[in-house]
Structure 1
Amino acid sequence: MSSVIKRKIRPAKPGLTLRHPKTLQKLPAEGALVELNSYWRRRLRDGDAVFCEDKPQAAVVASEPESASEDKPKKGAKA
């Protein structure tokens, strides 16, 4: 069983026309969510397409500074 990876990509240059291999529709200049298959991987490798900068919201996670946890003595530890 393989999972399908989808990413938002757009044409690398303004005015460049890329067509979706199944629908033959033009890829919008602002980008579209596509299955990352061999066709789109070739477009990315050749420099005709680029990933959009949209980051998944789940990936943006604020982490607690490490120094805050180091300042507190651990429970049961002798000072």
Structure 2
Amino acid sequence: MKQLIIILGLLAFGSIFSGLIFDLPYSEKLIGFGVVGLFLVVFPIFSYYRWKNKDPKDYMLTKENLEKMREKEGDERKL
């Protein structure tokens, strides 16, 4: 999965940079396809890969998480 993300990212960035560098009649399309590929293909795959085994509730500011943060901050001040 990691190699797929890297390959697709390099292809998207390569398309963008080749559209910017080379003066071709379809260079704007290269830039557009690179941006679309990056944001509609690479980013969702990367997000899924990074978040597939994690619970989003651990990263939300709920009462329980705020209390844990306050307790942890109090413990660090005692040291």
TM-score, normalised on structure 1? 0.32
| More contact order relative to length (CA 8 Å, sep ≥ 6) | 1
